[in-house]
Amino acid sequence: MSYFDAASAAPLHPVARQALHASLDEGWADPARLYREGRRARLLLDAAREAAADAVGCRPDELAFTSSGTRAVHTGIAGALAGRRRTGGHLIVSAVEHSSVLHSAELHAGNGGTVTQVAVDRGGAVSPEAFAEALRADTALACLQSANHEVGTVQPVAETAEVCAAAGVPLLVDAAQSLGWGPVGGGWSLLAASAHKWGGPPGVGLLAVRKGTRFAPQGPADERESGRAPGFENIPAIVAAAASLRAVRAEAADEAVRLRELTDRIRTRVPLTVPDVEVAGDPVRRLPGIVTFSCLYADGETLLHELDRAGFSVSSGSSCTSSTLTPSHVLRAMGVLSEGNVRVSLAPGTAAADVDRFLEVLPGAVAAVRARLGAPGGADPRPAETETAETPETATTGTKSAGADRDGAATAGPLVLDALGKLCPLPVIELAKVFGGVPVGGTVRVLADDEAARLDIPAWCAMRGQEYVGEEPAERGSAYVVRRLS
């Protein structure tokens, strides 16, 4: 089995396993006690804190260990907002932050605060100028991930931190995906991370709060971890997390070069061997091991199962794999195709042979999924004018009304395609089937109530060289209007 989901959880690093086993015998006692066993536990905890702080780029007394990366984010945001409540209740986040950040923002808004989401470009990156425009006199905190967890895009943290510092606003950085590759540069004020992302044990998070940052821990007071992470420290897991972070950092430079070559291979080969694919994320400013692509006319969940049967563990941001049946908020914010989304995230040590085998298996897996859905072949990027439309049972033709295109030429009335109640990727598949019978200059009005259609129909138009006219209100769902250009 080839494990290609390191962005969710990296395999336990051998150093982490060794450190965990060794510290189980020495780090079980209460580090707050003065007897021998307590002192031994305290030495292990202090050494782990120094090692982790060195990797983060902060002082040991600025770093606290939490029960998870999510807890670090929640604690950091709540404490920073409370510490600056006299300034105001305005919070800034990017639209592609991890759900832990967005959930904290929702809670803040529910408690009377205000939240601004900063948009990203099609590659998934924010601009420091956009953060500058979002800043207000009552802004208490800004949050920006160091790199995106779904598409790997690296964010301009240093530049954004400079903009925030000029306005006197602290910046919290979620560094969960990037910390194993190197420290986060720039003048950030708070930083959160999670050990299982770099090969440490699950259940260990880091929260760094730099001196001078106003911070008020929330919840009942506790003397542990500077009051920022109440409860007894899991010293064996903390020691293993710090040891593995140091180990992966020592290997990071060479491994980054190797994994970047492998992900470049995927980015290049997949569009050449699989028709109708969109590769997402910034092609240059990205993490070494993550590559994400979406396959038109494919069901993401079915595709993941197909790849799992072939021996590959991958993940997806497709709406078809979500219990809410809505596309990933990251893909939605980027405005890219969500159908048949596959994220490949390679762990350090991944063999090149495994990647080559994945590239051999993928075209057949996608073709099988598309065939199961009755999707068109997709070899020709634009349907020929002489194609005969294969109209599904759900398609109905509206009254032909005289109209004119932008050049004044007469056009036929729109074809109305009823895809209500159809989940992704069926609305787009049915659009493709009927589109060959639409005359040049004619339009199709697709009625759909699946949230994914808002992304996938415009993406289909861009990939097929047709015009997406826009979205119109409808009695149920929305009407998405597409014009045939060729």
Torsion angle of the four alpha carbons 315, 193, 260, 18, in this order, in degrees rounded to the nearest 10:
-90
Integer Cα distance of 303 and 108 in angstroms: 37
Q: What is the DSSP letter of 98?
A: -
CB neighbours of 250 closer than 8 A, spacing ≥ 6? none
Task: Report residue 183 CA to chain centroid gap.
Answer: 20
Catalytic residue ranges: 320
Q: Dig out the tokens for 56 from the structure.
A: 């983060």
Integer Cα distance of 472 and 166 in angstroms: 43
H or E, element range at 172: strand 171-174
DSSP states along 217-265: --SS--SGGGGTS-S---HHHHHHHHHHHHHHHHHHHHHHHHHHHHHHH
CB 270 within 8 A of CB 246: no
E-assigned strand segments in 252-345: 277-280, 290-295, 312-313, 341-345
CB 18 within 8 A of CB 244: no
Q: Dig out the tokens for 297 from the structure.
A: 């006319």
End-to-end CA distance of the chain, in Å? Answer: 45
Q: Dig out the tokens for 238 from the structure.
A: 């903390």
CB 155 within 8 A of CB 101: no
Sign, Cα dihedral of 364, 370, 375, 378: negative
Nearest to 470 by CA among 453, 462, 482: 482
